[in-house]
Chain A
C-alpha cells in the first residue's frame, strides 16, 4: 500500500547520461570498492582522488580564460588586462581562417577575420601577439588543431627572438585532430596524414621542449556537439589511447611522451555526474596506461586536465542566470580535481564575451578558490556512497563503449563509419526533446519563463568590421617585405619532406622563420595530403 507521504515528484530520477538514480545510496552500493585498488590516496595509483599528493593545498588550479579577438595587437592588450587581474596562464583563441589554414582575404574568410579569435597569418602577427609578454615566465595554451605544428613553430621562433631557449617554453597545443572529425569539424587533411603531423609534433617536443603539453585530448567539443557525459568520457579517452598507439608505432617509448599528454573536459549541469566523470577519467586512464600500454612512470599514468564550463548550457533567456550555472559547473570541476579552468561569460549565448562579463567569470573562480573553503582538503566528496557508485558506473559504461569502438576496428575506422557522429547527433536531439517535454528543466527557458532575453544596460562586444581589411593589408605588407625566394625555397623543402617520411616540424620551422603564411604552409601540405570531406549526415 503506497503511503501518500512517501510519494515522490517523479516516477524515475535520471542524470543527464540517462542513468537511473536511486532514492538513497548505502554502503551495499559500494560494497566491492577497494580503497587501494579503486581510489588510492591523492597522487597514488589509480589516482581517482587526484593526481598530486597535495592538490590545491599546494597549488591552486590555473585560472585560464580563453581569449582572442580582432588583431594580434588587440588580443595582446586583452592578455595584459587578464594578467593584470590575476590570470596565471594565457589561452589563445585563433580566428577561423587560421584554424582552417586559409589566408585572411580568401573567399571563405569574408566576415570571419578576427571574429571568433585572433587573426594570425604569419610570424609577424605572432610577434605582436606576445609583445611585452615574457615567454619564459608565462605558460600559453593554444587552441589549434589541424595547423597546430605551424603555430607551435611560430611560438618557438618568438621565444628564440626574445632570447628564451626552446627547452624552457611551457604551454599546450590542443593538437587533437580526432575530435575534429568526431565533433568540432575543423579538419583539413584526411585522418592518416593528420595523425602523422601530430606524431611529428610529439616526437619533436619530446626531444626539444620537454615541458610542452603536446596534445590536449578534448572532450569539451564532443560534449558541446551534444554527447552525454559518458560518451564524452568514452570518446575522449579512446582518442587518447589512439594517439598513444600511434606514437608507440612510430617507435617512441610510452614513458617518454605520455607524461606530456593532457586532457580537456566539459563541465555541464549535472553536478555529481560531472564530478564522477572527472574521477573516473583518472582511474580509467591510469589503469589502461599501466595494464595495456605498459607505462611505468608515474607521470605517464596520471591524467591531468583542463576544464571549461559548458557553453551549450548558457541560455539567451535571462542571461544573468548563467552566472549561477557557471558557478555550479566550475565547482564541480574543482571538486573533480581539475588542473586549470575556464569559466564562461554570461553573455556568450548572445554575443562574444564583453570585458565585464569576462571579469565576472574570472571572479567566480577566485571566489571558489579563496572564499568557499572547498580547497582545504583533497577530494572532499570521496567516499560518498552516491559519488563512488556513480564513478563505478561511469567506468563500466565507458568500457562498454571501448568494446564497441574496438569492434569497429578502432577510432579512425569508427570515424569513417560515422559512429561517433551519429551517437552524438542522436544524443543532442534527445536532449533537446527532453527539454521540450519538460523532462529536463531549464529555469527561465522551459519553466518560469519571463521572456527577458537581453542584458539590460550591459555593453555587447562588437568586432570592428574594418579588422578584416586591416589584416589583409598587413599580410600584404609582410609579404612585400620578406625574402620571397627564401619562402619559396622553404615551401619546396616542406613539400619534399611531406612526400617522404621525415619529421615535418623542421621544415615548418624554416618556413615560419621566412614569414611564410599559415595559408601557404597548409596549401603546400594540401598538395601532398589532400583534403578531408565529411558526410553531411544528421
Chain B
C-alpha cells in the first residue's frame, strides 16, 4: 500500500568495459523491473563518459555497474571522477560482476558499494537498493 503510493525507484543498469558478459546485468535488470522499479539498460561497451551522460539525462536513484573484464580499477575511478565533476552525489552506485575482494576497499572509498558478485540472490540486491537509497 505504502509502496504503491511512492514514486517508482529509477535505476540505470550500465555495462562499462569491453566485455560482453551481459547475462548478470540483464538478469538483475529484469529482477528490479519485476520488483516494481523503473529500469533503463544502457547496453554494452559504455565509456565512463557515456554512462555519466545517461545518469545526467535519466536522473536515476540508482546506478548499477556490471563489469567482468577486470578493468574495474581503471574504469570505476574514472566514472566517479566524472560524477564528481557533474556534482552528482545522491545516486546510489552499486558494483556487480567479478570484482576481487582485494580491490573493494579502494572502490568503497570512491563511493561505490554493494559489490553484488556472482551468486548473489536477486532479492538481496532489491532489498539493498530499498534500504540504501540516498534520496
- A residues near B (Cβ < 8 Å) are 96-97, 99-100, 102, 107-112, 115-116, 180, 184-186, 224-226, 312, 314-317, 349-352, 425, 428-429, 432-433, 436, 442, 445-446, 453-454, 460, 462-463, 465, 468, 534-538
Contact = CB atoms under 8 A, between A and B. Distances in A.
A429 B25 CA distance: 11
Nearest to A180: B20
Q: Which of B31, B78, B102, B118 has the most CB of A within 10 A?
A: B118
B93 interface: no
Interface string B1-24: 000000000000100011111110
Given A351-B100, A454-B101, A112 B117 contact: no
Given A96-B19, A99-B18, A534-B43, A436 B117 contact: no
Most A Cβ at <10 Å: residue of B30, B75, B123: B30
Contacts of B39: 538
B44 A350 contact: no
- Residue from the set A226, A314, A349, A432 with the largest chain B CB neighbour count within 10 Å: A432
B117 A538 contact: no
Interface of B: 13, 17-23, 25-27, 29-31, 39, 41-45, 47, 69-75, 78, 98, 100-102, 117-119, 121-123
Contact of B17 (A111, A312, A462): A111
A109 B43 contact: no
Nearest to A436: B121
Provide the main secondary structure of the chain A interface: loop
A47 B30 CA distance: 41
A116 B118 contact: no
A227 to B, nearest CB: 10
Given A349-B117, A432-B122, A111 B23 contact: no
Given A111-B73, A316-B117, A436 B20 contact: no
Given A100-B18, A108-B45, A312-B23, 13 more contacts: A111-B71, A112-B69, A112-B74, A185-B44, A316-B119, A350-B98, A428-B23, A429-B30, A446-B121, A463-B70, A534-B44, A535-B43, A536-B42
Contacts of A445: 119
18 contacts: A97-B18, A102-B18, A108-B18, A110-B75, A110-B78, A312-B23, A314-B118, A316-B117, A349-B98, A349-B117, A349-B118, A350-B100, A428-B26, A429-B26, A462-B100, A536-B43, A538-B26, A538-B41
Contacts of B43: 534-536
Contact of B73 (A226, A433, A465, A534): A465
A186 B71 contact: no
A186 B18 CA distance: 8
Given A186-B20, A225-B23, A349 B119 contact: yes
B47 A108 contact: yes
B125 to A, nearest CB: 11
Contacts of A184: 20
A460 B30 CA distance: 32
A103 B106 CA distance: 29
B17 to A, nearest CB: 7
Contacts of A463: 70
A184 B20 CA distance: 6
B58 to A, nearest CB: 13
